Structure 1
Amino acid sequence: MADFIQDLADGLARDVLEGSKELEDLFFYEQVSKVIGASSPTLQEAFMTSIRIRLAEKRGREFLNKALQAKRDGAKLPEPPREAEKGGH
């Protein structure tokens, strides 16, 4: 059952993040989370985990691309954001 829940949550997270662009609301996932949570706190937590992981991966990829571009341009490598020092999951 856990794989089923995670698959549902991750699929929804992917779609919500994509839909957020069209809606021009980068935090639309918070509203979806409330809707899910009213019926299934288990699905809500899996959804939010997927959202956090996908957003973290996006930030990490953007940082990698900036660092590679800086290296190619002979520029100073970018500093990681201060929030990265706090840690996470």
Structure 2
Amino acid sequence: MGTLDRLAEELGADVMKAMDETGDDRLFMEIAGVIGAASQTLEEAFLTDVRVRLAERKARQHLIQRVKAHRAAKKQAE
């Protein structure tokens, strides 16, 4: 993993934690703006990392809900 990917990944993880703590789900856009003023390359890598993390989080939440609904329906049918 190169420096760009490593930095984007580390910053992405930290920003996701800060978003969870503060409840500000758009914080990553503010941080991207700060990054973009100095490095468009890092900004793009950071945004990709955060978007992937957000997509995975949404997909995981959906999966959990589907399994819960299935289990509830199965239990109700018994």
Q: Distance in 1 between matches of 2:2 and 2:73?
A: 45
Provide the aligned length of Structure 1 versus Structure 2.
74
CA deviation after TM superposition for structure 1 residue 34, in Å: 0.4
- Which one has a bigger Cα radius of gyration? 2
Secondary structure of the residue that 2:17 maps to in structure 1?
Answer: helix
Greater RCO between the two (CA within 8 Å, min separation 6)?
Answer: 2
Identify unmatched segments of 5+ residues in structure 2.
Answer: none
Tell whether 2:33 aligns with 1:34.
yes
Listed as ranges, the matches of 1:1-89 within 5 Å are 3-74=2-73
Q: Which amino acid aligns with 1:39?
A: A
Comparing 28-37 and 13-22, the one that deviates more:
13-22
Q: Distance in 2 between matches of 1:72 and 1:33?
A: 41
| Deviations, residues 19-65 of structure 1 (Å, cap 9, x unaligned) | 01222211001110000000010000000000110000000100110
- The two structures, once aligned, show a CA RMSD in angstroms of 1.4
Identify unmatched segments of 5+ residues in structure 1.
Answer: 76-89
TM-score scaled by length of structure 2: 0.87
TM-score scaled by length of structure 1: 0.77
